[in-house]
């Protein structure tokens, strides 16, 4: 095939590198096959006129009220509280720039430290390049 014939069209390269993607598609095939062949009875559904939103609130705080059944989720609520605080602390710890930086400086200077002001530097370089090109 000549170069003019092949052109610059994107070409599908077959090979082993396609295996992970095909594995994901095959997983969907297996799952869909199993689910569509499984038999379920008629859904119970919720009572007509029952407030689901209120029932979620009652279940979350272990209040014995409302028409829709549900388990108490008070322990899960407290655990998720701890997890969120830990994640917040972890995110702040990871986002700190260097040993000397504090949260306050990260807020005021956008998190940049002096030796790696990469975005500002690259913007300045780009601007200089463009200006040089015009001249």
Partner 1 sequence: MVPPQYYLVLAAAVFCIGVFGLLTRKNALLFLMSVELMLNAANINLVAFSYYWGNVTGQTFGLFTMALAAAEVAVGIGIILVLYRNFKDVDVTEAATMRW
Interacting residues with partner 1 (CB under 8 A): 20-21, 23-25, 27-28, 31-32, 35-36, 38, 40, 42-47, 52, 55-56, 59-60, 68-71, 73, 76-77, 80, 83-84, 86-88, 90-95, 97, 116, 118
Shortest approach of partner 1 to residue 35 CB, angstroms?
4
Shortest approach of partner 1 to residue 55 CB, angstroms?
4
What is the C-alpha to C-alpha distance for residues 48 and 127, in angstroms, rounded to an integer? 64
Residue 57: which of 73, 45, 40, 35 has the closest Cα?
73
Nearer to partner 1, 1 or 75 (CB): 75
Nearer to partner 1, 1 or 82 (CB): 82
Task: Identify the three-state secondary structure at position 6.
Answer: helix
Q: How far apart are the first and last CA of the chain?
A: 45
Shortest approach of partner 1 to residue 132 CB, angstroms?
24
**Tokens representing 101?**
């930086």
């Amino acid at each position: 095939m000549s170069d003019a014939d092949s052109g610059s069209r994107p070409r599908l390269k077959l090979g082993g590198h396609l295996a992970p993607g095909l594995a994901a598609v095959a997983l969907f095939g297996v799952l869909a096959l199993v689910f569509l062949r499984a038999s379920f009875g008629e859904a119970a559904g919720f009572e007509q006129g029952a407030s689901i939103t209120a029932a979620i609130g009652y279940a979350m705080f272990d209040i014995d009220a409302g028409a829709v059944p549900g388990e108490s989720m008070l322990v899960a609520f407290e655990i998720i509280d701890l997890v969120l605080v830990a994640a917040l602390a972890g995110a702040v710890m990871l986002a700190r720039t260097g040993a000397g930086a504090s949260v306050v400086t990260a807020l005021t200077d956008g998190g940049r430290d002096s030796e790696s002001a990469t975005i500002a530097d690259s913007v300045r370089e780009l601007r200089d390049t463009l200006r040089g090109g015009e001249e």
